Structure 1
Amino acid sequence: MHKPRLQLLASFDIASLQYLDEQGQTTQALPEFATPDTLIAYYRQMTLARMVDDRAVKMQRTGQLGTYPSSLGQEAIGVGLAAAMAKEDIYCPNYRETGALLERGVTIEEIYAIWGGDERGQNFRHSREDLPLSVPIATQMLHGAGVAFALKYKHEHFGEPMRVAVSTGGDGSTSRGDFYEAINLAGDWHLPLVIVINNNQWAISLPRDEQTACKTLAQKAIAAGIPGLQVDGNDVIAVREAVGDAVERARSGAGPALIEAISYRLCDHTTADDASRYQPKKDVSEAWSREPLRRLRSYLENCGAWDDAQEEEMQRELTQKLERAVHIYRETPRDVATAIFDHLYAKLPEPFLEQYQQLQGDS
């Protein structure tokens, strides 16, 4: 059979980035920002995120919160990406974002209010322009593209400093049309958008290898004509460096980027799930040996920047901070019953007027 002669038009490579291996040993020279003081600050935030998650799960089990999505085992991604952003940048988050929210200045009591069904929790006291958490899968990436377009427009037409939008999602989000539309639009319009994918290997109960035939999720950037990079998501230094480079690249006008951060979900998908039904015990056990807090602590101890006494003092301080926040959350008066409409409509549709009046009477 005749085989036609083909001409190669393009080829692509996907790289990976790591600074700390599973034992907390360096694999290459660290970037300048990775000083002991900075890494200790990251370690504290990652530890706090884990504590906030743990308490949230316990509060949900006792009826004090609604369904809650823990980020156990994925703390380096949230803290690392948020640390790479400037205060003026805009975050367009997914829902598994405890570490990133804390790093962006969101308070613990605000996080608990969100998952307790109080929309006032989304009215952040800090990072006022950051978008609310998005529970629908991948829609936040289209929001991010829209925000990035507005930021670029303001920069080009009104001389405002270039700001960057950062949007996040799980591995399952890359199988949604919203994801592809967002990266295609960002690439075509050269938008200042960085998308970070938390590849924790599970889209609820669906394993990553049943979601897509792609060897990496980072290579999906190729279809949009934008850079794609895979990083070790259990290495906060690698996450911070990769996202930082992508953010500064976008800020300089060089356009968007996609970063895939490899991690493992060491918890149920949410408190409405039982991951033991589908996660292989061996995989979970091996993932615990790679988890980010142990890795960073090992590095800090090995270089003489951390010890048991400091760990004990940090745990005590963070526990006190957590208890104060839990108290504030519990003592906050409930929002008015009409809030279910107040936070949804700028102008209440007429068919809801009767219901609204009834709720006013119940408040």
Structure 2
Amino acid sequence: MTSPKSVPTAPESGETDRAFQAAQAAYDAAQQDDRMVQIVAPDGSVLRPDLLPAPEIRLELYRQMRRARHFDERGWVLYRQGRLGVFPPFGGMEASQVGTAAALTKNDWLFPTYRDTGAALTLGLPIARTLAYWRTSPHGWHMPADLKVLPFYIPIATQYPQAVGAALAERRKGTRNVAMAFIGDGGSSEGDFHEALNFAGALNAPCVFILQNNGWAISVPTRTQTKATDLSRRADGYGIPGVRVDGNDALATYHVTAEAVARARNGEGPTLIETVTYRVKPHTVADDPSRYRTEAELEGWDAKDPVLRLRTHLLNEGLLTEETEAALLAEVAAEFEAALQEADSYPEPTPAEILDHVFAEPTPQLQKQREQILAEDAQ
């Protein structure tokens, strides 16, 4: 996500080291911020026992994070095999996505960006359907009827005002359902972001805004695209709560999001949550991050790995053992391979299918275009 945009160029001497040091310093400083919510430290120790979720919730968060990471890792392999299209990896951001989406139910709305595959999987998007989407197959173009997940947004920030509209529609229908929308640090500099926050605040919409500050807007570091150092403060200008949380702490992201969802359900309005994390992986599998940062940058983030952090905590608490984790990993791998077989079984799309999911009722223009495609395909 980017604003402003730049064309990556080979980094000058020392430039990438400075960018890395700035990102590390910003993350470490944020952890010392009194406003930063953190429950489990990077070494797995408990900082706030009073905020710990129930054991079954902690185990479920770990299971979902393992499912998300497995998808991300296998996605790389499938891309290199020519079995998946250009895919935005999210490895290292699992706590930010799983911990937030886990606070929703299937009656709620989810508006994900292109990097939020982990959030969609957590809410219940089938793996086979997700693989089809990243294969640009029509079998992945429409979401399941029992799931209010929007297709992954490629335009930057357009999902934010649309999420407000969905939230207001739910309130008008008399439900207690909420809408959750994701954005990146770069996207928070777009006009739609600010319009949505003002829109939601003025009308007290039951909406939860997730701002994933991962340090990069494509090739532009956060410190370049904005002078702001605490993006959650942007909520202040619109009279809504702003919360800052360690985005690599799944228990903390779940806690603050669950509170925000509860407030929205109770008619107390929207919340902006900044999850402070880092984009360890390239912008997409087709990106070459060496043009704007060095591999040395990643070394310091291994110790902050969100999956390792929760795993260490669960082992320390006796909620997880080497045996139960091995069984979990085997289950996750088997689930993915079964879904991959299902995705591989989908028939190849026909040219006319590109028009099938544009409108619920095809317009005369679409019908004419479909006839033209079918006629050309028959030649």
Fold-level match, TM-score > 0.5?
Answer: yes
Distance in 1 (CA, whole Å) between partners of 2:227 and 2:315 is 40
State the shift of 1:103 in Å: 1.4
SS in 1 for 2:176: coil
Shift of residue 185, structure 1, vs aligned partner: 0.5
Which residue number corresponds to residue 167 of structure 1? 181
- Which residue of 2 is the match for residue 215 of structure 1? 229
Is 1:121 the counterpart of 2:140 in the alignment?
yes
Q: Does 1:298 align with 2:317?
A: no
* Letter in structure 2 aligned against 1:212: T
Q: CA RMSD in A?
A: 1.9
What amino acid maps onto 2:321 in structure 1?
A: D
CA distance in 1, matches of 2:250, 2:50: 12
**Cα distance in 1, alignment partners of residues 366 and 135 from structure 2:** 28
Aligned to 2:59: 40
2:94 and 2:138 map into 1 onto residues whose CA distance is 24
Change beyond 3 A, Cα 1:354–1:277: closer
Aligned to 2:330: 316
Q: CA deviation at 1:355?
A: 6.1
Cα offset for 1:118?
1.8
CA deviation profile, 1:37-60 (whole Å, cap 9, x unmatched): 321221111011111111112212
Q: 2:355 aligns with which of 321, 341, 350?
A: 341
Residue 236 of structure 1: how far off its partner (Å): 0.7
Give the one of 40, 44, 56 matched to 1:20.
40
Letter matched to residue 161 of structure 2: L
Structure 2 unaligned regions, length at least 5: 1-32
Structure 1 residues 113 and 354, CA gap change in structure 2 (3 angstroms): closer
Q: Which residue of 1 aligns with 2:84?
A: 65
SS in 1 for 2:106: coil
Point out the more displaced range, 261-270 or 331-340.
Answer: 331-340
* Matched letter for residue 335 of structure 1: P
Aligned equivalents of 1:120, 1:356: Cα separation in 2: 21
Q: Contact 1:105 / 1:127 at 8 angstroms: preserved in 2?
A: no
In structure 2, what is the Cα distance between the partners aligned to 1:87 and 1:330? Answer: 27
Of 219, 223, 248, the match for 1:205: 219
Q: Which has the higher contact order (CA 8 A, sep 6+)?
A: 2
Which of these residues, 280, 303, 311, is aligned with residue 289 of structure 1?
Answer: 303
- For residues 200 and 257 of structure 1, the distance between their equivalents in structure 2, rounded to whole angstroms, comes to 19
User: Which of 193, 198, 220 is the aligned partner of 1:184?
Assistant: 198
Residue in structure 1 matched with residue 11 of structure 2 by the alignment: none
Residues 243 and 259, structure 1, Cα contact 8 Å, conserved in 2: yes
Q: Give the whole-Å Cα distance in 1 for the aligned partners of 2:98 and 2:213.
A: 15
Taking the aligned partners of 1:80 and 1:349, their CA distance within structure 2 comes to 44
Q: Compared with structure 1, are the counterparts of its residues 360 and 94 closer, same or farther at alpha carbon in structure 2 (3 Å cutoff)?
A: farther
**Structure 1 unmatched runs, 5+:** 1-12, 156-160
Q: Is the 8 A contact 1:337 1:360 kept in 2?
A: no
* C-alpha separation in 2, matches of 1:360 and 1:138: 38
Q: Distance in 2 between matches of 1:347 and 1:305?
A: 53
> Which whole-Å deviations, capped at 9, do the CAs of 1:341-363 have from their partners, x for residues lacking one?
22224434548825643336537
8 A contact 2:128–2:343 mirrored in 1: yes
Deviation at 1:14, TM superposition (A): 8.1
Q: Give, in whole Å, the separation in 2 of the partners of 1:322 and 1:110.
A: 12
| SS across alignment from 2:186 | helix
